[in-house]
Amino acid sequence: VFCGTVMLALCLILGTLLGWHIYLIIHNMTTIEYHEGIRAAWLAKKSGLSYRHPFDVGVYKNISLVLGSNMLTWLCPTAISHLKDGTSFPTVRHTS
Contact 29, 53 (CB under 8 A): yes
Q: Which helix (H) or strand (E) holds 5?
A: helix 2-26
Cα–Cα dist 84/87, whole Å:
8
DSSP letter at 75 equals: T
Q: Given a cut of 90, is residue 74 above it in pLDDT?
A: no
Rg (CA), the chain: 17
What confidence category does residue 95 fall into, taking pLDDT thresholds of 50, 70 and 90? low
Q: What is the mean pLDDT of residues 14-18?
A: 97
Q: What is the mean pLDDT of residues 62-89?
A: 79
Cα–Cα dist 45/51, whole Å:
8
Q: What is the pTM of this model?
A: 0.79
Q: Taking the domains of the chain in order of start, what are their residue ranges? A: 1-73
* Residue with the larger pLDDT of the pair 88 and 3: 3
What confidence category does residue 68 fall into, taking pLDDT thresholds of 50, 70 and 90? confident
How many Å separate Cα 60 from the centre of its chain?
A: 12
CA atoms within 13 A on the CB side of 48: 0
Q: What is the mean pLDDT of residues 16-22?
A: 97
